[in-house]
Chain A
């Protein structure tokens, strides 16, 4: 597609439930990133996928968070047993490999845990 697409745009869930967030990167972009943006804070790196290499999971805050990506296509970020502190905007971005042009971001999924 023309840009990075994320769904849903908004998600309200009850504490303790699992949620799944989806990201469709730009076709041909081998790299895909997930970031979290809490209210009033900067972007926090979560996970990075590059082609078929093992993902860089160094930013995942706990084992309740996981992400998958098949090849160079769609990625899903799953949060199990959601907590109120998980409330944030989850941003996905994609780029070509070794990218000096920066990322292209999606519009994000706003997650609210009540």
Chain B
């Protein structure tokens, strides 16, 4: 069955430190993966998609099919990165997203 696992509920780092939010997936089809972010008192919004190979707000994520992972990385964390981050897998029907449980990122000054 399809599943998205985010093993860390909370990740706390100091400003300027590197960040890696882990995401692993289980899916027999061809995966399309996303990262969503929810800042305090704001709605959930798309951060980046693996198909576009983009860097948004300094974040990147590489799909590793061998390790079935899609970890989110940023070399130097900033306080404004503090938020809840969700990894999501789109099923091959191109419709339903399966979300992980989310990781709270806290960046301390």
Binding site for B on A (CB under 8 A): 31, 33, 35, 40-43, 45, 48, 50, 56, 91, 97-108
Contact = CB atoms under 8 A, between A and B. Distances in A.
Given A91-B44, A103-B97, 18 more contacts: A33-B97, A35-B99, A42-B102, A43-B44, A43-B102, A45-B97, A48-B96, A50-B95, A98-B94, A99-B94, A99-B95, A100-B32, A102-B34, A102-B49, A102-B88, A105-B43, A105-B44, A107-B43
14 contacts: A35-B99, A42-B6, A43-B86, A45-B96, A97-B94, A98-B94, A102-B36, A102-B46, A102-B88, A103-B97, A104-B46, A105-B43, A105-B44, A106-B43
A105 B45 contact: yes
Interface in B24-71: 32, 34, 36, 43-46, 49, 51
Chain B residues touching A, range: 20 to 34
Chain A interface SS verdict (over half): loop
Contacts of A41: 101
Query: Which 10 A/B pairs are nearest by Cβ-Cβ distance?
Result: A42-B101, A98-B94, A43-B99, A102-B46, A105-B44, A107-B43, A42-B99, A105-B43, A102-B34, A42-B102
